[in-house]
Amino acid sequence: MAICWALVLGAWSFPLRRGITICPTLPGVSAKSPCVHAPCLLQSRASNLPLKPGFTPGHRSVTENPSSFTLSAPGRICIFGEHQDYLGLSVVAMAIDLRMTIMATPRSDNVYHLDMPDIRHVEHFVPREALPYRHQRDYVRSVIAVLKRRGLSFDRGHDFKITSRIPMNAGVSSSSAFVILWAAACLQAHGQLSSISGEGIAQIGHAAEVLEFKEPGGMMDHYTCTLGGLLYIDCADPIRPTPISPRLDGFVLGNSLEKKDTKAVLRKAKEATLRGVEALTAVLPGFTLKSTPMDQAVPHLRKLPDQSSRMVYANLVNRDLCQKARVLFEEGVYDQDVLGEMLDNHHEMLRDHLGISTEKIERMIDAAKSAGALGCKINGSGGGGTMIAYAPDHQKPVAAAIQKAGGKAYIIKKAEGLRLEAGLLE
């Protein structure tokens, strides 16, 4: 494997697997371990290859080094392209510094003991045995099932402890962070993490969370939680994540604390949009959400039922906003007021056409704007959950305003993706 040396935050480093960051500054990490303090954007062996059944053995087996390890993965916000990844369109998403962490210690038997104190839940099982699903979204077992089908042999027990700062069921990808982190921990525990690319881990996470339970979500969350940073993701098949690196800060996350039904909201929006696309294609042959220009589509939208017309129109507007944002970010220098206005326009489509906002989130947005935010939008599937405010130089007063409006506020910044905090990469 070719080694590219770079100076990152004052530490000599070299990339290993794309999207997996190794931090030797923390306790328990070997001095021989490589270090990348930012998302690894350089390629290493097979880093862009899709995951295939079976695993290439790692450089060291767990039996040779049965050490403890700690991994973490971030939550994420969607800046542009909300409700578009599952349509094969593009998104701009950012990993944030609210993280989920798993600590693992080898056992002398074949048992997995999983402790999740944040939700007061404990699991105790033998992963090599048959593990039928006990309920929908049984992610602990679905990750293991997906890994088994891809050839991983669970031949050693571990004690695991998972803690998290990511708000749950709030549109910040807590479930995607979990499946990514749990899959990575299982791979690391059995000496296989070093042989899987970041893209491969994202695919495992999507399979375990979405495909396994026939749910409607896309892959934005899994790629962002794995690779980290700020990403432009073309969600057409094959999915293509592209890192973009402007200085982008000033965000505040506001949690409405309203419970939401992610699956129902996603399914309703997806089905309504696809009905609209089908109806528009009947009057405009060759129409695609991906590439048909807005000015060609608009005259024909008037021929559709109101709901279908509104859904397709909103997705076309949001598609074009995402492309405009990509250009702005790639140029590296952008007008903050313009970016704020674009976020407001995006939210308007989500609120007025997709119908996914709530009265409380609107109050939080109004409060944030009054306190100095340049733009705001709902974050995640909607129907509750979170919103984001773009408030450079005004994060503290905006956070206070969100709190006063009944939400819980977090001042957030861009973060790394899946990261080995302690231990040797296996």
pLDDT per residue as tens digits for the range 391-404: 999 999 999 999 99
pLDDT of residue 15: 29
List 230's β-bridge partners, or say none. 94
pLDDT of residue 21: 56
The CATH number of whichever domain residue 182 belongs to comes to 3.30.230.10
List 101's β-bridge partners, or say none. 72, 163
pLDDT of residue 32: 31
pLDDT of residue 213: 94
In a domain, 351, yes or no: no
Is 168 in contact with 192 (CB distance < 8 Å)?
Answer: no
Q: Of 77, 346, 19, 356, which is closest to residue 204 (Cα–Cα)?
A: 19
Residues 6+ apart with CB under 8 A from 295: none
| One pLDDT digit (tens) per residue for the chain, 426 residues | 332 322 222 222 222 344 555 443 333 333 333 332 223 322 222 233 233 333 322 333 333 344 899 999 999 999 999 999 999 999 999 999 999 999 999 999 999 999 999 999 999 999 999 999 999 999 999 999 999 999 999 999 999 999 999 999 899 999 999 999 999 999 999 999 999 999 999 999 999 999 999 988 889 999 999 999 999 999 998 999 999 988 899 999 999 999 888 888 888 898 999 999 999 999 999 999 999 999 999 999 999 999 999 999 999 999 999 999 999 998 887 899 999 999 999 999 999 999 999 999 999 999 999 999 999 999 999 999 999 999 999 999 999 999 999 999 999 999 999 999 988 787
In a domain, 5, yes or no: no
pLDDT of residue 261: 84
In a domain, 386, yes or no: no
Give the domain range for residue 110. 44-247+415-422
Q: What is the separation of C-alpha 264 from the centre of its chain, rounded to a whole number of angstroms?
A: 19
In a domain, 99, yes or no: yes
- Written in H, E and C, the secondary structure of the chain is CCCCCEEECCEEECCCCCCCEECCCCCCCCCCCCCCCCCCCCCCCCCCCCCCCCCCCCCCCCCCCCCCEEEEEEEEEEEECCCCHHHCCEEEEEEEEEEEEEEEEECCCCCEEEEEHHHCEEEEECCCCCCCCCCCCCHHHHHHHHHHHCCCCCCCCEEEEEEECCCCCCCCCHHHHHHHHHHHHHHHHCCCHHHCCHHHHHHHHHHHHCHHHCCCCCCHHHHHHHHECEEEEECCCCCEEEECCCCCCCEEEEECCCCCCHHHHHHHHHHHHHHHHHHHHHHCCCCCCCCCCHHHHHHHHCCCCHHHHHHHHHHHHHHHHHHHHHHHHHHCCCCHHHHHHHHHHHHHHHHHCCCCCCHHHHHHHHHHHHCCCCEEEEECCCCCCEEEEECCCCHHHHHHHHHHCCCEEEEECECECCEEEECCCC
Sign of the alpha-carbon dihedral angle for 389, 394, 399, 405: negative
Residues 6+ apart with CB under 8 A from 42: 4, 6, 15, 18
The pTM (predicted TM-score) of the whole model is 0.84
In a domain, 254, yes or no: no
Is 213 in contact with 142 (CB distance < 8 Å)?
Answer: yes
pLDDT of residue 67: 80
In a domain, 179, yes or no: yes
Give dist(CA 204, CA 179) in Å, integer: 8
Structural domains counted in the chain = 1
In a domain, 188, yes or no: yes
In a domain, 402, yes or no: no
pLDDT of residue 16: 36
